[in-house]
Amino acid sequence: MKTALATVTLSGTLREKFEAAAKAGFQGVEIFENDLTQFDGTPKDVRNMAYDLGLEIIALQPFRDMEGMPAEMRKQKVNMLQHKIEVAHELGVNRLLFCSNVQPYSSADRDVCASDLYALADIAKKEGIILGYEALAWGFHIADYYDAWDLVKRVDHANLGIILDTFHMFSRGNSLDVLREEIPLNKIALVQVADAPSLQMDVLQYSRHFRCFPGQGDMPVVEFLQVLKDKGFDDYLSHEIFNDEFRSSSPLEKAVDGMRSLIWLDDQTVSKREEKTTPIKAPQVKDVEFLEFAIEGEAGVALTNTLAQLGFQETHEHRSKSVSLMRQGNINLILNREPKSQAHEHFKKHGVSVCAMAFANDDVKAALSLAQRYCVERFDNQAGPGELNIPALRGIGDSLVYLVPDDTTVRFYDVDFKPIQGVEDTQGAGLTRIDHIGQTVSNTDFLSASFFYKSLFGFDIEASQDLPDIHGLVVSRTALSKDKQVRIPLNMTNARGASAQRFIQKSKGSGVQQIAFACEDIFTAAENIDSEKQLPIPQNYYRDIEARFGLSVEQVNKLQQHNIMYDEDEDGEFFHFYTEEVHGVFFEVVQRAGHYDRYGEANAFVRLAAQARQEEC
């Protein structure tokens, strides 16, 4: 498989886009005509720039409304093609891409359209150019790829082939049957792979703003590539992504994301030419082994005080560093005060915050190998003599993800820590494990953050949902390990005043905003924490749930006494309460009854309003 991207995918100048594509490892680029038109140089300069960076220019695109035009316009289209072929020669490219006609005055007669395209293909043949024809999802007469294929068959010219674009195919609900059963490889001019979340909206707006890299959305891109591989396809796979966040992000970061996406897509499929007989799967994450906080000063004291009221106590101290461990149940929270450490650098930039998390993994070596394959940066940890050298990866924002073996016989604290004399592990407030970890990210990192967990750790990504904040909408989607033992809701907003954006402003970047602990008796847990440390929930909320769920007055009063929120569905019940924020980070305690498997999303708008109110006090 060869890899390419269209320059429209990235932000920046044409040179910046080329440099980003080359550094990320792409072999080719499609030049979007706007990028060439605004470039301050000749097409030959562009060709030389690509050559110097080791890139092949694989296509110039797009050319619009070429077929079925009124007679008076047909001559102009021929003239335009001849001029663009001159440009193509100067660029050193032999592929030009056509889009299906979107004009209401264009002809619906496919024989007329075929005649026009045949004439254009004849011109291209004389110049050694291949024309690709693509069905735009909003084409006036041809919007489905199987109709585009019907037209290409009618033309029956060696210099005209079909362009397969997954967005245009799947946004209209096309099946893969025609590709699987009819289209031969020698008639595929180019393959463009894009994904998108499941949305119900105008297809043109959908296309222009919500495309994303394969694996970041909900389209069956893996099945698409498998069909191509079954046919023996081994040519370029190219990204053509229109996305507002991509065009306002670092071109290199998005290029790396795009390369990771294509490698992942390739790994999910097999072909007759490859040695692997099954798709490459990520090793399984079994649990969160620990969370590490960077703490100093008064805010650090406030954090430890809140954790103490939640039943945590410092049980271990590091053998050589200013680091301690707070424990309860199977929850390990590291407090790092070491002045010469990654945690200290994290604190200087972000304040009191979660600087790292550790996943218990069933094959650390395989996970590290996959991280290297997917261009995920390693972090070189400095371990002292006799200390564990736990491998780490650069995670979301400036945080780290440590990888530890899924081995409960020897834990990390048995080696690097020593018990604090006179302190014994207790049940504390009855918290048992980490239920979920909420990470808030910038809008430009939302897709790449979810794909980080999906590609590297094999997490499933749930569909996005909107959480109403009093200052705007927060968009949330959850990354889930296969057994749902690790849950990471990812949140972002485009609203400047919403909670997610306020957190990013406080912490100066993406990070963990919420940590939810599971318990077996939430009322006992709530009794341990002072009321001023709890997030106060308004009385109207309790009147509402009394009416909605038919709760007794006694039940409602008990919930209200401890600011405990409630939800239920056909599978069970959910109880949860929240603490005050410490430098933007807050804790939640949850109790699941029956088989309730959600997060109390119906209560989110009340919680978000209460947090905004508490900040203003």
Joined together, the tokens standing for residue 119 give 């004439």
Joined together, the tokens standing for residue 233 give 């396809």
List the alpha helices (DSSP H) in 310-390.
Answer: 342-350, 364-373
- Residue ranges at the known binding site: 134, 165, 192, 240
Short-list 444, 87, 69, CA closest to 253 = 444
What is d(CA 92, CA 42) in angstroms, rounded to the nearest whole number? 12
Expressed in percent and rounded to 5, the helix, strand and coil fractions of the chain are 40, 25, 35
Task: For residue 284, give every residue at least 6 positions away whose Cβ sits within 8 Å of its Cβ, in sequence order, or none.
Answer: 361, 362, 363, 458, 481, 482, 483
- The dihedral region occupied by 584, where left means phi > 0, alpha psi between -120 and 50, and beta the remainder, is left
Cα angle 538-539-544, degrees, rounded to a multiple of 5: 105
What is d(CA 457, CA 91) in angstroms, rounded to the nearest whole number? 41
Cα angle 172-458-387, degrees, rounded to a multiple of 5: 155
Q: Where are the beta strands (DSSP E) in 37-184?
A: 56-63, 95-99, 130-134, 160-165
Radius of gyration of the chain (CA): 28
Whose tokens are 């037209």? That residue is: 151
Short-list 578, 442, 428, CA closest to 505 = 442
DSSP 74: H
What is d(CA 381, CA 416) in angstroms, rounded to the nearest whole number? 14
What is d(CA 238, CA 235) in angstroms, rounded to the nearest whole number? 10
Neighbours of 553 (CB within 10 A): 8
Q: Greatest CA span in the chain, whole angstroms?
A: 93
- Residue ranges at the known binding site for a divalent metal cation: 134, 165, 192, 240
Task: For residue 224, give every residue at least 6 positions away whose Cβ sits within 8 Å of its Cβ, in sequence order, or none.
Answer: 166, 169, 170, 176, 179, 193
Q: Are 463 and 197 in contact (CB under 8 A)?
A: yes
DSSP 507: H
The number of residues in the chain equals 617
What is d(CA 410, CA 430) in angstroms, rounded to the nearest whole number? 24
What is d(CA 457, CA 282) in angstroms, rounded to the nearest whole number? 5
Neighbours of 181 (CB within 10 A): 8
**Exposure b/e, 506-517, CB count within 10 A at least 16 = b:** bbebbbbbbbbb
List the alpha helices (DSSP H) in 338-490.
Answer: 342-350, 364-373, 412-416, 446-457
